[in-house]
Amino acid sequence: SYELTQPPSVSVSPGQTVSIACSGDNLGDKYTSWYQQRPGQSPVLVIYQNTERPSGIPERFSGSNSGHTAALTISGTQAMDEADYFCQAWDSTTAVFGGGTKLTVL
Amino acid sequence: EVQLVQSGPEVKKPGESLKISCQVSGYSFTKYWIGWVRQMPGKGLEWMGIIYPGDSDTRYHPSFQGQVTISADKSISTAYLQWSSLKASDTAMYYCARHISTLGTMWLDYWGHGTLVTVSS
């Protein structure tokens, strides 16, 4: 079965730029989405189709996908961005999630 | 406004059956896939399966095939997830989510608030 791999944790200072990677076999041939989950809350879609932002998601969130790696980049990171982030791709007839990355804003 | 309202928390014993629900509003229930995602305590997201309420086409992740049943009632815009015999390992938060399907891919754009299922003797 298809697998997506994310680093367990990433840290960033307020105002800096951080990227969270998601790797999978030929992931660049698939569309990747990203979800933010704050503690005790439901996940929220922040990026879909590799680079698209849903209405209401700040412009500081962006995405890319090429080769075997997709990335979520947060520019000018704010304290409110501290959360778990999950990548997701569609493989044949099922969705696959990465294991999640805990973003800490120090 | 799109809303997915899930049923309340459940506490069950091993071997018991359970059916949890997700009632939607703000969009045409029969025109979008809707599915379920499991999150075990302190763990990540696991996609369980989806149903297209328009024709009841249902797909399961291999890990959940035969373990749960996903269904929908178009008359009340509600999707369901049910178990015939719960196990302690079914203890988790369960989210319903609307799926957008296009260009051979899907993503989950609206999520419910989650239903906590606790299975303990």
Looking at residue A81, what is its pLDDT?
98
Query: Per the structure block, which two tokens stand in for B119?
Result: 């299975």
The 10s digit of each residue's pLDDT in A38-83 is: 999 999 999 999 999 999 999 999 999 999 999 999 999 999 999 9
Residue A83 has a pLDDT of 98
Task: Give B-chain residues touching A38 at CB under 8 angstroms.
Answer: none
Residue B42 scores a pLDDT above 90 = yes
| The residue to which tokens 């091993």 are assigned | B14
DSSP B9-40: PEEE-TT--EEEEEEEESS-GGGSEEEEEEE-
B71-106 b/e (C-beta count within 10 Å ≥ 16 → b): ebeeeebbbbbebeebeeebbbbbbbbbbbeeeebb
- The answer to whether the Cβ–Cβ distance between B45 and A90 falls below 8 Å is no
Q: What is the pLDDT of residues B5-28, one digit of tens each?
A: 999 999 999 999 999 999 999 999
Is the pLDDT score of B104 beyond 90?
A: no
Of the candidates B41, B39, B4, the residue with the CA atom closest to the CA atom of residue B24? B4
**Best mutation site among A92, A94, A96, A101 for testing chain B: the one with the most B CBs within 10 Å?**
A94
The verdict on a CB contact (< 8 Å) between B105 and A94 is: no
Split at pLDDT 50, 70, 90, the class of B115 is: very high
Strand partners, B72: B79
